[in-house]
Amino acid sequence: MDVDALYQEIILDHYKKPHGAGLREDFDTEVHHVNPTCGDEITLRVHLDGDTVADVSYAAQGCSISQASASVLNDLVVGHSVEEGMTVLGSFTELMQGKGKVEPDEDVLEDGVAFAGVAQFPARVKCALLAWMAWKDAVAQAVTEKEDA
Amino acid sequence: MDVDALYQEIILDHYKKPHGAGLREDFDTEVHHVNPTCGDEITLRVHLDGDTVADVSYAAQGCSISQASASVLNDLVVGHSVEEGMTVLGSFTELMQGKGKVEPDEDVLEDGVAFAGVAQFPARVKCALLAWMAWKDAVAQAVTEKEDA
Amino acid sequence: MTTAEATGYDVEQVRRDFPVLARRLAGDLPLVYLDSANTSQKPASVIAAIEEHYRLHNANVARAMHQIGAEATEAFEGARDKVAGFIGAPSRDEVVFTKNASEALNLVARVLGDAGRVGAGDEIVITQLEHHSNIVPWQQLCQRTGATLRWFGLTPEGRLDLSDIDSLITERTKVVSVAWVSNMLGSVSPLATIIAKAHAVGALVVVDASQAVPQLPVDVSTLGADLVAFTGHKMLGPTGIGVLWGRYELLAELPPFMGGGEMIETVTMERTTYAPPPARFEAGTPPIAQAVGLGAAVDYLSALGMENVAAHEHAITAYALGRLQEIDGLRIVGPSEAVDRGGAISFELAGVHPHDVAQLLDSRGIAVRAGNHCAKPAHACFGVQSTSRASFYLYTTEQEVDALVDGLLHTKKYFGA
Amino acid sequence: MTTAEATGYDVEQVRRDFPVLARRLAGDLPLVYLDSANTSQKPASVIAAIEEHYRLHNANVARAMHQIGAEATEAFEGARDKVAGFIGAPSRDEVVFTKNASEALNLVARVLGDAGRVGAGDEIVITQLEHHSNIVPWQQLCQRTGATLRWFGLTPEGRLDLSDIDSLITERTKVVSVAWVSNMLGSVSPLATIIAKAHAVGALVVVDASQAVPQLPVDVSTLGADLVAFTGHKMLGPTGIGVLWGRYELLAELPPFMGGGEMIETVTMERTTYAPPPARFEAGTPPIAQAVGLGAAVDYLSALGMENVAAHEHAITAYALGRLQEIDGLRIVGPSEAVDRGGAISFELAGVHPHDVAQLLDSRGIAVRAGNHCAKPAHACFGVQSTSRASFYLYTTEQEVDALVDGLLHTKKYFGA
Ligand SMILES: Cc1ncc(COP(=O)(O)O)c(C=O)c1O
Ligand SMILES: Cc1ncc(COP(=O)(O)O)c(C=O)c1O
């Protein structure tokens, strides 16, 4: 269990300069997720433009892993279709729950491959997934609202 | 821990032919005591004539030790003064709680010395004391009632 | 029939796994342990699992992020997985660790009251063969809520008398709580009938499986009960741990029992929200090393095979019932044939009080229990205050039963009975 | 001041009694265990006592009349004697075994409600530094009864703010429940003042001594509290056991918490009467092997001498407070001087999240805790969501504190903070 496998350079970079951080006013739905075991929190807003994720804005309190993963999430889903985003979510979740045995696909996950090492630290998997679970929840709500409207 | 030290001949004799068993109508007070750990029960009546214990009658359900000790109690206190009875109670209790290290006084305890072996069987000490505790309780009540009257 | 034929494992070899069975008692007599319904003995693998945990992996769980904390958490949660698998739980999150079966039953009674699922005018149905731990919590709940306690009686043979089931379990019934296997009479309850009837009127079914899980293959996913309680120390595991299994949706609806530790989602001085099951019901530091030990116990039982354990229990019980009935003046309180019957045999020996029976047997190294076995009402049913009880487990041999019979014959002679 | 001067025993020799302290972690690094406020490590004597119990003397207690039953009972009740002696209890019957401190506190909250000693309009006073286990049970009690929860706040230094004691503890106050030593801030509560005030208005005083009994000489006979809770696993004992001490007359007045097993006097289907304390509060099979282990823990602590344990705790805490404050950007949350202070030090490291601190330290074999330490409200007081916490015990050395400091400097560098 090499701690450098966990804290990849890419992760520390995202942590220090998170992409798309902050809460922006244009949004369809907002969710607040908490990781009760460690207390990490995220407030996350999703703005859809038709089928496209126009923006994901967020305020996150938590460790480097959870903050960096919100930043990477922002990179990976904004500007893409909801469906594409869900595919990435699927790959990312699979990687996280793979106990270090899943080979990440860099074409899909881009900077997200840096999280491969997290899968070897069971206690930190939830940190990496916090933003993604919040995003899934917010998107699902947004889609439902659009359908109902 | 020789079981024959527990079940002395004298004890088995008292068990098979208890002295003074049965509940008689002439009495001042009646008590009902239970040993919750084993369920042994005794209903015991005391009849005082002035300072003298005129009768102790009882209905006991329980093991050989508890039955035999009620029988020995009857021998030792009926016809004696309350004070004498209390002295015997003191000696008997001391013997029981002595963990086998107290030398019984045959002049005071008579057949009660047969219970010396019980003291080596902590689980059975309560059996031997059940009737005596009931008697103590009943006598105390009887004395209080006479004083109040 | 000899047990060797009926048992799918080598009992003598199994016995070597249990250090205490090699114990010599006073007079250098070997231990003949016939008190397994009270508590079971522990195989070396269980003892070693606990020891190793404390020696190498001891840390608190859930809260710790360091290596030994992760090890302890994995061991503790791994034990939950093992227990879930062992009883066929659809989800590991349905397995709540308590301190014993009694806590599991009290937990249920308390939270059903707190949730308002039992109130004045409602009825709770139990049976007359219950262990005190499945009587008193319901009496207390009735006292707190104004609900009424009702119960099934017993047949002269010592089985549940279901003849009045239609008048007992009615629209007013909110909970039916019943032992699967009686710890005193040995009888096995007709759960299917009771569960069907209870569910037909919308009542919850609680099963006290304290004597069942150690002896029988159990599959809660097909049992039909809503909640099932059992205890670690009767199934080769350590003291200090019990289990409440519950259907997840039901557990998720119920409020917590005790508060504190990791059963919370968030806490402010004003208000607390609670974690989902099973954490919601596990206040404070859980029985960590005990869960590890229980996990090892479950591994041991699974390796033997619960079908084999059940077959052995059946064979040894049948053998004992036969041999005990050879003794003049011995009366079995409970079914005298090994049909729908667990391995606890309570009996009276004419003219000798149960405590004297137990004491005499003990002087020969034979450990049985004497008393009311925490089942006073069942004793009252049979007009007795106490009985002697011999109970068997996967390590019990026919020779031990023979020693019991010899001891009882000696006891009769000793007391001239 | 070095710990060698202040400590009345040889710490290096003591360390050899704790098998886990010889553990090598990933990278063949030695374990530096600084998480003792979470759970303590166990000396070999405690592990051996548990092992020997299961190997030779395992039986259920109270109910068994056979030799191993008597041995188990003697060991279990002997542990009660030891615990009673250790805390200066006037009577062994005042020592109730629970599963942990949380159960002890919940027990009290439940039975005070059941007994009608707390009702609508009444007030319960706690403090903002409590562990969740001394908050949530009282919130639940208030919810059930309509009573009101009030609390002492904290000073900026992290001590109890008693300035409003006269308006907080009033004639309406029925219970005051307070931690003796905070598991997060480390501060020691001014119990004498609080107890005097509470008793002056006729309120009961409950003391959560979970962090005090492991560290300080405790004498309940002079403390003045009515009820005291603590937990075995933080004082060298096993998991799965806690203690509630109570004044006998008070315990004798209180109704039972859970029902079942040996907590009864007599049971019929209609009605149950209860055994006197402590049995009344011990439903079901108690934590037998755990009591045996706790007894061995108490023996170990007594042999070291609690004055010596306290002196060591004080010295190592003072040393750590000094060294930690050498680190730029490190902020101690709680008193920064070793005055009226226990050995838990929570802190923030600017720019690095506590989980990352803990992870980096773990990569060097140093075990600290990160999170809210089951004290969310205390964290909220200081405007933080979580902290890192290093906590010490009788086996902690200055070298381990030095390793912590080096690890923190490395952590700062690693995260560029
Ligand atoms: C101050 C305090 N109170 C209560 C507890 C709860 O103890 P347990 O988890 O053993 O119930 C703890 C420890 O977690 C504590 O530190
Ligand atoms: C049928 C039954 N129910 C409940 C219990 C209570 O189990 P525990 O004492 O472990 O709580 C027992 C055992 O004593 C039992 O035999």
Give kind and range of the element (H or E) at residue B142.
Answer: helix B122-148
Kindly tell me the burial class for residue D339, based on how many C-beta atoms sit within 10 Å of its own C-beta (0-12, 13-18, 19 or more): exposed
For residue C70, which residues of chain A lie inside 8 Å, CB to CB? 122-123
Average pLDDT on A15-19 reads 94
pLDDT of residue A99: 85
Chain A partners within 8 Å of C67 (Cβ): 1
DSSP H helices in C115-190: 136-145, 165-168
CB nearest A38 (choices: D26, D355, D415): D355
* Interface contact flag, D260 C133, Cβ < 8 Å: yes
Q: CA-CA distance, D148 to D118, in Å (whole number)?
A: 10
Angle between helices C136-145 and C101-114 (to 10 degrees): 10
Nearest Cα of chain C lies from the Cα of B128 at a distance, in angstroms, of: 13
Average pLDDT of chain A, as a whole number = 93
CA distances (Å), A88 to each of A73, A81, B70, C252, in order?
9, 11, 84, 31
The C-alpha atoms of residue B145 and residue D409 are separated, in whole angstroms, by 81
pLDDT at D394: 98
Q: What is the pLDDT of residues C298-311, one digit of tens each?
A: 999 999 999 999 99
Question: Could you tell me the pLDDT band of residue A35, with boundaries at 50, 70 and 90?
Answer: confident
Which chain D residue shows the shortest CA-CA distance from B38? D63
Q: Which residue reads 């809520």 in tokens?
A: C145
CA of D62, nearest ligand number: 2
* Segment 334-363 of chain D within 8 Å of chain C by CB: 355, 358-359, 361-362
3-state secondary structure chain D: CCHHHHCCCCHHHHHCCCHHHHCEEHHHEECEECECCCCCCCCHHHHHHHHHHHHHHCCCCCCCCCHHHHHHHHHHHHHHHHHHHHCCCCCHHHEEEECCHHHHHHHHHHHHHHCCCCCCCCEEEEECCCCHHHCHHHHHHHHHHCCEEEEEEECCCCCEECCCHHHHCCCCEEEEEEECECCCCCEECCHHHHHHHHHHCCCEEEEECCCCCCCCCCCHHHHCCCEEEEEHHHCCCCCCCEEEEECHHHHHHCCCCCCCHHHEEEECCCCEEECCCCHHHCCCCCCHHHHHHHHHHHHHHHHHCHHHHHHHHHHHHHHHHHHHCCCCCEEEECCCCCCCECCEEEEEECCECHHHHHHHHHCCCEECEEECCCCHHHHHHCCCCCEEEEECCCCCCHHHHHHHHHHHHHHHHHCCC
Whether B46 and B132 have beta carbons less than 8 Å apart is answered as no
Q: Does D211 touch chain C (CB under 8 A)?
A: no
D278 prior amide bond cis, ω within 30 = yes
Give the model's pLDDT for residue B99: 85
Chain C CB contacts of D76 under 8 Å are none
Minimum Cα–Cα distance from D360: chain A residue: A3
Q: What is the largest CA-CA distance in chain D?
A: 71
pLDDT, residue C376, reads 92
Closest approach of C294 to chain B, Cα-based (Å) = 29
Q: Does D269 touch chain B (CB under 8 A)?
A: no
Question: What's the pLDDT at C5?
Answer: 57
Does residue D385 belong to the interface with chain A, where contact is any CB pair within 8 Å?
Answer: yes
What gap in Å lies between CA C198 and CA C203, rounded to an integer?
5
Cα–Cα distance for residue pair D53/D42, rounded to 1 Å:
16
Task: Say how far apart CA A120 and CA D132 lie, in whole Å.
Answer: 31
**Each residue of D214-258: pLDDT tens digit?**
999 999 999 999 999 999 999 999 999 999 999 999 999 999 999
pLDDT (tens digit per residue) in C322-363: 999 999 999 999 999 999 999 999 999 999 999 999 999 999
What's the gap in Å between C356 CA and the centre of ligand 2? 25
Closest listed residue to residue D336, CA positions, set D349, D317, D354, D351: D317
pLDDT band at A100 (very low <50, low <70, confident <90, very high): confident
Contact list in A for residue C264 (CB cut-off 8 A) is: 36
Cα distance from N-terminal residue to C-terminal residue, chain C: 31
Q: Looking at ligand 1, which residue's alpha carbon is closest to its atom 16?
A: D183
- Which pLDDT tens digit goes with each residue over C200-241? 999 999 999 999 999 999 999 999 999 999 999 999 999 999
- For residue C213, which amino acid is it? V
D263 touches chain C (CB under 8 A): yes
CB C215 near ligand 2, within 6 Å: no
The CA distances from residue B80 to B77, B89, C249, D289, in Å, are: 5, 12, 71, 49
**pTM above 0.80?**
yes
Section A124-144 average pLDDT: 95
Residues of C marked active site are found at 374
The pairing of beta strand C242-246 with beta strand C148-154: unpaired
Of residues D61, D89, D76, D18, the one with CA closest to residue D290: D76
Alpha-carbon distance D374 to nearest alpha carbon in chain A (angstroms): 10
Backbone φ and ψ of C416, nearest 5°: 60, 30
Is chain C touching chain B, with at least 3 CB–CB pairs below 8 Å? yes
Neighbours of chain A (3+ CB pairs under 8 A): C, D
% of residues, chain C, pLDDT over 90: 95
Q: What is the pLDDT of residue D63?
A: 64
- The string of pLDDT tens digits covering residues C93-118 is 999 999 999 999 999 999 999 999 99
Contact between chain B and chain A (3 or more Cβ pairs less than 8 Å apart): no
Gap from CA of D210 to ligand 1 centroid (Å): 6
* Option in C353, C370, C416 nearest B16 (CB): C416
What pLDDT score does B75 carry?
96
Q: For residue A93, give the nearest of A60, A68, A56, A130 by alpha carbon.
A: A130
Phi and psi based region of residue C55 (left: phi greater than 0; alpha: psi -120 to 50; beta: remaining): alpha
Chains that touch B (3 or more CB pairs under 8 A): C, D
Which of C33, C102, C289 lies nearest to residue D260, judging by beta carbons?
C102
Residue ranges of domains in chain D, CATH in brackets: 3-30+305-415 (3.90.1150.10), 47-303 (3.40.640.10)
CA distance D100 to D230: 7
Q: What is the DSSP letter of C263?
A: G
Q: Measure CB to CB from residue A38 to each of D362, D363, D371 and give the nearest one.
A: D371
CA of D228 to the centre of ligand 1 (A): 13
Task: State the Cα–Cα distance between residues C307 and C214, nearest whole angstrom.
Answer: 11
Q: Can you give the pLDDT at residue D2?
A: 46
> Residue A72's CB: how many other CB atoms inside 10 A?
27
Rounded to the nearest angstrom, the minimum Cα separation between C322 and chain B is: 27
Mean pLDDT of C181-188: 98
Convert B70-125 into a string of H (helix), E (strand) and C (coil).
HHHHHHHHCCCEHHHHHHHHHHHHHHHCCCCCCCCCHHHHHHHHHHHHHHHCHHHH
Q: Which of D105, D129, D231 should be mutated for ligand 1, with most atoms under 8 A from CB?
A: D231
For residue D242, give how far its alpha carbon lies from the nearest alpha carbon of chain B (Å).
24
Q: Mutate which of B1, B2, B34, B37 to disrupt the D interface (most D C-beta within 10 Å)?
A: B37
Q: Which of residues 25-84 of D touch A (CB under 8 A)?
A: 26
Q: Is the CB of C131 under 6 A from ligand 2?
A: yes
Other Cβ atoms within 10 Å of A107 Cβ, number: 8
Instruction: State the pLDDT confidence band at C1, using cuts at 50, 70 and 90.
Output: very low
- Which residues is C208 bridged to in the sheet? C179, C229
Q: In this structure, is the dihedral angle defined by the CA atoms of residues A46, A48, A51 and A54, taken in order, positive or negative?
A: negative
Q: Which residue of D has its CA nearest to C107?
A: D258
Interval D60-83 mean pLDDT? 92
Model confidence at C75: pLDDT above 50: yes
Q: Using CA positions, which residue lies closest to atom 7 of ligand 1?
A: D101
Mutant choice from D60, D61, D65, D74 vs B, greatest count of B C-beta within 10 A:
D65
Q: What tokens were used for C328? A: 């003049």
CA angle C73, C74, C77 (to 5 degrees): 80
pLDDT at C6 over 80: no
Contact D370 A61 (CB under 8 A): no
d(CA D194, CA D171): 14
Give the tokens for residue D22. 């010889």
* Per-residue pLDDT band at D5 (split at 50, 70, 90): low
In the predicted model, residues of chain B with pLDDT beneath 50 are none
What number is the average pLDDT over the span D267-296? 96
pLDDT at C2: 47
Name the packing angle between helices C288-304 and C44-52 (round to 10°): 150
- Span from the CA of B113 to the centroid of ligand 1 (angstroms): 52
**Spatial contact of A38 and A76, defined as CB atoms under 8 Å apart:** no
Out of D327, D374, D409, D417, the active site residue is: D374
Q: Which atom of ligand 1 is nearest to the CA of D208?
A: 3
Contacts of D278 in chain B (CB under 8 A): none
pLDDT band at A145 (very low <50, low <70, confident <90, very high): confident
Which are the contacts of C104, defined by CB distance < 8 A and separation ≥ 6?
C96, C98, C229, C230, C231, C242, C243, C244
Tell me how far apart the alpha carbons of residues D256 and D279 are, in angstroms, rounded to a whole number. 9
Task: List residues bridging with C246 in a β-sheet.
Answer: C227
Residue D1: predicted pLDDT: 41
**pLDDT above 70: percentage of residues in chain C:** 98
Contact A123 C70 (CB under 8 A): yes
pLDDT one-digit tens code per residue, D134-189: 999 999 999 999 999 999 999 999 999 999 999 999 999 999 999 999 999 999 99
Task: Give the model's pLDDT for residue C115.
Answer: 97
Q: Are D283 and C102 in contact (CB under 8 A)?
A: yes
Arithmetic mean of pLDDT, D117-132 = 98
Contact C218, C88 (CB under 8 A): yes
Q: Which of C129, C181, C183, C393 to mutate to test the pocket of ligand 2 (most atoms within 8 A of CB)?
A: C183
CA–CA separation, D71 and D93 (whole Å)? 20
Quote the minimal CA–CA distance from B104 to chain D in Å.
25
pLDDT in tens, C365-401: 999 999 999 999 999 999 998 999 999 999 999 999 9
Write out the DSSP string of C265-300: EEE-SS-EEEPPTTGGG--SS--HHHHHHHHHHHHH
User: For residue B65, how far is its CA from the centre of ligand 1 (angstroms)?
Assistant: 47
- What percent of chain A is predicted at pLDDT more than 90? 80
Measured distance CA(B114)–CA(B76) in Å, rounded: 13
Answer with the residue of higher pLDDT: B146 or C282: C282
Q: Which residues of A touch C262 (CB under 8 A)?
A: 37
Give the three-state DSSP class for C22. helix
Band of residue D3 on the pLDDT scale cut at 50, 70, 90 = very low
> So what's the ipTM on this one?
0.93
Alpha-carbon gap, residue D334 to D346, rounded angstroms: 7
Which residues, 6 or more positions from A127, have their beta carbon under 8 angstroms from its beta carbon?
A35, A38, A40, A62, A63, A65, A66, A69, A118, D355
Distances (CA, A) of C412 to B60, C353, C415, D49: 21, 11, 5, 39
- d(C-alpha B119, C-alpha B100), whole Å: 5
pLDDT of residue D51: 98
Count CA within 13 A, CB hemisphere, residue C329. Answer: 15
